[in-house]
Copies of this chain bind each other. A is one copy, B any other.
Amino acid sequence: MKQWELQCSRCSARLPFRYQDMKCACGGTLLVDYDLEHVAKTFTKASLQLRYPSMWRYQELLPLQDKASIISLGEGWTPLLRMPTWESKLSLKRLWIKREEQNPTGSFKSRGFSVAVSLLKEAGATKAAVPSNGNAAGALAAYAGRAGIQAFVFIPMDCPSLIVDECPLYGATTVLVDGFIHDAAAIIESGRKEQGWVNVGTLKEPGRVEGKKTMGLELAEQLGWTFPDVIIYPTGGGSGIIGMWKSFLELKKLGFIEGDMPRFVCVQESGCQPIVDGLGQPMAVTPTHDSDASLAPEPHKIIPNPTGMRVPNPPDLELLLSIVKQSGGTAIAVSKEQIAQATQSLGAEGISSSPEGAATWAAMLVLCDTGWLRSTDSVVLFNTSHAMKYAKLGASAAIPIIKTYEEFMVYRNI
């Protein structure tokens, strides 16, 4: 085979590599398949130890012809932060948070777009468009800016305004859409040919899954080439789940790691929970402690927040469900209130979390409470972005204004 080809994740059909249109004739999603014998010649644990800490250290497992085509802004190799206090509190063997907000565009989306835009550049494409709840739009805008490619981003109008604002800063043509992310996607499909856009939406091209894959490679390397027992991940379109699963299979085939794959937990927000519903076995999320009863997720009547998890129609739900099931994982929906409380808990630990990142914390608490997580489990949560991106001004209206220490004391005594 060539260095890499495409293979259908549903019917296993094989096709030559291309940088767009990832739908197989059977309806399945095409994924990049590497000649691992070739990869193994240079991709070794020893060689990796001496490479620069960036996601591009995994270059043999990324589908770029020429290193010179890499469009990088400094993405990847984000910290994996251990949470020892909470390990004790929750009786978990290990608890880590992968701090993806420390990527160049302030979110995990940097990874996928570094690869996707590098592929566009290598192919000579000049215009790219994406439907996005915000962070993907910012990432396309930034990487396209760096590459000299024109970016067009389409964002549901209720998405966080600060994230929207960064897109024109990066030079993208930015449009708000009166609808959901799939409505934005439909607009792009309508105009794609006329405008000459490459659609870089979720699973529309190979780069984003491959880029997200590096989260899995990095996690395994940071854990000394082992897998954690459980990965809790906020899930919208699901390319992160697909990418990490794929990366772990590649590492097993390369002989880097043996043993069980991690159990994947997809976290969604109540009211938009196609993966939870798709699993058909909604887990009992009612906490066992009475005091926590008010935190129990409410049913579908709730309108979810406009976060990256709000994807009513994931592009390949079948593939996502298959991965979660194979892994022995589950899916769980958490409420706005649980997310808000988790944001505070993470804040008190010095971590600024996105609602999506906080949702993984909220899910972890429920899974501990129901006994799904065990004291033998090592668990990794993903903080995909930071709180500021979702901030609203005026939150601090209650902060006192003083001129002297005496005024401070008056305030303290109120």
Contact = CB atoms under 8 A, between A and B. Distances in A.
Interface string A380-397: 000000111101111110
Contacts of A168: 396, 399
Contacts of A386: 106
State the copy count for this chain. Answer: 2
Interface string A139-170: 00111111000000000010001101110111
B396 A161 contact: yes
Given A142-B352, A187-B404, A74 B54 contact: no
A191 interface: yes
Nearest to A391: B162
Contacts of A223: none
A161 B162 CA distance: 13
Interface string A178-191: 11000100010011
Contacts of A161: 393-394, 396
Interface stretch (A75-83, A208-216, A225-233): A75-83
A125 interface: no
Contacts of A102: 74, 102-104
A329 interface: no
Nearest to A190: B405
A387 B166 contact: yes
Nearest to A343: B169
Interface string A101-128: 0111110000000000000000000000
A346 to B, nearest CB: 9
A53 interface: yes
A179 B399 contact: no
A15 B46 CA distance: 45
A132 interface: no
Contacts of A103: 102
Q: Among the interface residues A49, A102, A103, A170, which one has the most CB atoms of the partner chain B within 10 A?
A: A102
Contact-residue size bin, chain A (C-beta under 8 Å from the other chain): 35 or more
Contacts of A49: 50
Contacts of A389: 388
26 contacts: A53-B53, A54-B79, A99-B104, A102-B103, A104-B351, A106-B386, A106-B388, A141-B350, A142-B350, A142-B351, A146-B350, A161-B393, A166-B387, A169-B352, A170-B347, A171-B347, A174-B399, A175-B401, A176-B401, A176-B402, A177-B403, A183-B403, A187-B405, A187-B408, A388-B388, A388-B389
Nearest to A405: B190
A168 B398 CA distance: 11
Contacts of A74: 78-81, 99, 102
A348 interface: yes
Contact of A175 (B165, B187, B400): B400
A65 interface: no
Contacts of A164: 396, 399
Contacts of A347: 145, 169-171
B53 A166 contact: no
A372 interface: no
Given A142-B352, A388-B162, A408-B191, A177 B401 contact: yes
A333 to B, nearest CB: 24
